[in-house]
Chains A and B, each alone.
Chain A
Amino acid sequence: MRVAVVRFPGSNCDLDAVAAMRGIKGLSPELVWHESEELGRFDAVVLPGGFSFGDYLRAGSIAARSPAMHTIRKMADSGTPVLGVCNGFQILVEAGLLPGALLRNSSLKFVCQWVNVRVESRRTSFTGLAQEGQVMRLPIAHGEGRYYAPDDLMRTLERSRRIVFRYSDENGRVTERANPTGTSGNIAGISNEQGNVVGLMPHPERGCDPLLSPHRSADGRLIFASLLEGAR
C-alpha cells in the first residue's frame, strides 16, 4: 500500500512517520511535497505533525489552503484513508474535513508528555486492529491541541460514534485528571462520518518502537498497521 506523507513548510514529524511505516510490512511510505500533483497515485495519506507555515493565524490554517488539500479533499470524499497527526489533525479541522476546533491548551503551555488514550471506536481505517476499550500509550507534544466541540457537535460525535480516542488513565478510566489539555469530553481523536478520515493529537509515529518508549510500548504501530487491515 502506497502511503503519501505530505510535507509542508514547517512539518517536522514527516521523517518519523515514514520511518514508523517502513517498519510495517506492506506499507510503502513516501514523502510528498504539498505542492506536488502526484498525490492521486497513493492509496492513503498521512498529514504529519509539526508547525506548518509557522502556525501563523492558527495552527494548520494556512496549510489547509495549500494545493495538496484540494486533492486530499477529493481523495477523502472517495474513501481514501487520511490520517492527521497533531498539526495534521489541526490541518484537517481547519480544512473542514473534520469538525470542531483545536484551541490553546487549557494550561496555556506547550504540553509534552506520554499519555494514555482509550480506543473508543474501531470502525475507522486506522483502528481496525485495535480493540474498543484498549488503552494505548502514546506521546503528545503541542500547544494548540485542546479539541473543542460545541454541545450540539458533541452530541453528534457521540451519537455517530466518531470519537475515536479519549484521554484516560492507564486503566481506561476517562477522568478530568487524565485530560492533559482540557479537551471537550477528553477527546484525543475523531473521525469523519465514513471513518476514513481520522485526526488525533497524540503521535503514533513516535510510539512505534519500544526503544523510544518509557513503557517499552509500540502501540502506535496498530494505527498504521490498521491501514492494511482496512484494505483487505
Chain B
Amino acid sequence: VKSIRAGKSLRIDVEAADEEAAETLVKKMCDDLRIYNPAAHSLVVEARRLPA
C-alpha cells in the first residue's frame, strides 16, 4: 500500500437522458450547493444507469 486518502461518497438518484447528462447535472448541483469545498477537496462524479 503506497498511500490512502479518505473521502466521502454520496449516492444521488437523478432523472437524466443519459449518463453524461446525469454527470453534468450532479456536478452542477455539487458546485452550486458547495457539496465539496474546492479549497481542499476534489470532486469525482461517476454515473451508472439504474435497472429499470
Question: A residues touching B (Cβ–Cβ < 8 Å)?
Answer: 57-58, 61, 64-65, 93-94, 96, 99-101, 103, 148-150, 153
Contact = CB atoms under 8 A, between A and B. Distances in A.
Contacts of A64: 34
Contacts of A101: 37, 39-41
A149 B39 contact: yes
A58 B33 CA distance: 13
Interface of B is mostly: loop
A174 B36 CA distance: 31
B39 A153 contact: yes
Nearest to B10: A57
A56 to B, nearest CB: 11
Interface residues of B, number: 8
Contact of A57 (B35, B39, B40): B35
A58 to B, nearest CB: 7
B39 A99 contact: yes
Contact of B33 (A65, A103, A150): A65
A148 B41 CA distance: 11
Interface in B9-52: 33-35, 37, 39-41
Interface of B: 8, 33-35, 37, 39-41
A3 B13 CA distance: 43
16 contacts: A57-B8, A57-B35, A64-B34, A93-B37, A94-B34, A94-B37, A96-B34, A99-B39, A100-B39, A100-B40, A101-B40, A101-B41, A103-B40, A148-B40, A149-B39, A150-B40
Contacts of B39: 99-101, 148-150, 153
A57 B33 CA distance: 12
A94 B41 CA distance: 13
Interface centre among A58, A93, A99 (most CB of B within 10 A): A58
A33 B37 CA distance: 26
B10 to A, nearest CB: 9
Nearest to B35: A57
A81 to B, nearest CB: 24
Contacts of A149: 39
Q: Which 5 A-B pairs have the closest CB atoms?
A: A101-B40, A101-B39, A101-B37, A148-B40, A100-B39
Contacts of A93: 37
